A = this chain, B = another copy of it.
């Protein structure tokens, strides 16, 4: 910038004004001259310097969070990476950049944000009871995906009507004559989207005067169980169960595979309905019946919300 200013015989200030397109502040003539020099030298602004002055960077942190010791690889789950795809697309179009990390504690999140003075943060996997802690420790806008929480100032959420979605899933099985329908989810059911989905499941059973049977609720704790022992629990009750609703396609696919290996025919012995409509779900056999949600759109939505809030902040 200094060199450009020298070559154009203007001050650094003027170059800065040109870069920031403050047209009213620079004559067209000098602007043109400076732009030429900028292009000639292929000048790129140094983000570190800018961030330092502004005490905020053009970085958005994208965090995959899972507060458990398990050595699970969060990037293996297509749901997470489809969200990432949406975020990538929108931020790129708006000259923001994406800092990605998977973490297992909230403190790691705080550290990233402070270290890089990120403009905002998008997080997957936060539980409702963690939101207030999060809010106290982060002073940039926060967007949570699939966390069911009241909108507080500074905390925005992206989600769908999970309860209704799951009513649809459950209703589908009922419509096909099923009564003994198992509910299969990951373990942290309290407060998360899975609770909403559970409520949708209950809604439908109740509407059809079917009693909720605790024995048909299967919760997969990824850290304490393996898929084999988990599916055994379902196998034990196979003569009773005729249908299963899953809160996630990814889980449905894994369980289906395990059940098939144990000689259970799907859908002949047990019918299955998933949730998410992951792109891989169409490749299972039989094709997984699933409730669609547009995952990439969730990511785009999250990014848009963040950008909007950031714009408003700037105007104040």
**What is the interface of chain A, defined by CB distance below 8 A to chain B?**
44-52, 57, 59, 62, 73-76, 78, 81-82, 84-85, 88, 92, 97-102, 111-112, 114-117, 253-254, 256-257, 260, 279-280, 282-285, 296
Contacting residues, chain B, for A57 (C-beta < 8 A): 48
Known: A46-B52, A47-B48, A253-B283; 8 extra A-B contacts, CB below 8 A, are A48-B48, A48-B49, A73-B85, A75-B82, A76-B279, A81-B81, A81-B84, A97-B112
Contacting residues, chain B, for A73 (C-beta < 8 A): 85, 296
Interface pair A98/B97, CB less than 8 Å apart: no
Interface pair B88/A82, CB less than 8 Å apart: no
Tell me the bound Cα distance from A198 to B75 in angstroms.
30
A101 to chain B, nearest CB (A): 6
Contacting residues, chain B, for A254 (C-beta < 8 A): 283
Tell me the bound Cα distance from A280 to B249 in angstroms.
12
Interface pair B76/A88, CB less than 8 Å apart: no
Contacting residues, chain B, for A46 (C-beta < 8 A): 52, 115, 117
Contacting residues, chain B, for A280 (C-beta < 8 A): 78, 253, 280, 283
Contacting residues, chain B, for A296 (C-beta < 8 A): 73
Contacting residues, chain B, for A100 (C-beta < 8 A): 62, 84, 88, 98-100
Tell me the bound Cα distance from A75 to B98 in angstroms.
14
A304 to chain B, nearest CB (A): 17
Contacting residues, chain B, for A48 (C-beta < 8 A): 47-52, 57, 116-117
A94 to chain B, nearest CB (A): 13
15 A-B interface contacts by CB (under 8 A): A47-B116, A48-B48, A48-B51, A49-B52, A73-B85, A75-B81, A75-B82, A75-B84, A76-B81, A84-B100, A99-B100, A100-B100, A253-B280, A257-B282, A285-B285
A103 to chain B: closest residue by CB: B92
A88 to chain B, nearest CB (A): 6
Tell me the bound Cα distance from A156 to B274 in angstroms.
43
Contacting residues, chain B, for A102 (C-beta < 8 A): 85, 88, 92
Interface pair A45/B115, CB less than 8 Å apart: yes
The 5 closest A-B pairs by CB, nearest first: A285-B285, A75-B85, A48-B51, A44-B114, A48-B52
Tell me the bound Cα distance from A9 to B313 in angstroms.
38
Contacting residues, chain B, for A253 (C-beta < 8 A): 280, 283
Interface pair A88/B101, CB less than 8 Å apart: yes
Tell me the bound Cα distance from A285 to B284 in angstroms.
6
Interface pair A92/B101, CB less than 8 Å apart: yes
A90 to chain B, nearest CB (A): 12
Contacting residues, chain B, for A101 (C-beta < 8 A): 88, 92, 97-98
Tell me the bound Cα distance from A116 to B256 in angstroms.
45
A61 to chain B: closest residue by CB: B97
A114 to chain B, nearest CB (A): 4
Contacting residues, chain B, for A52 (C-beta < 8 A): 46, 48-49, 52
Contacting residues, chain B, for A99 (C-beta < 8 A): 59, 97-100
A170 to chain B, nearest CB (A): 24
A292 to chain B, nearest CB (A): 16
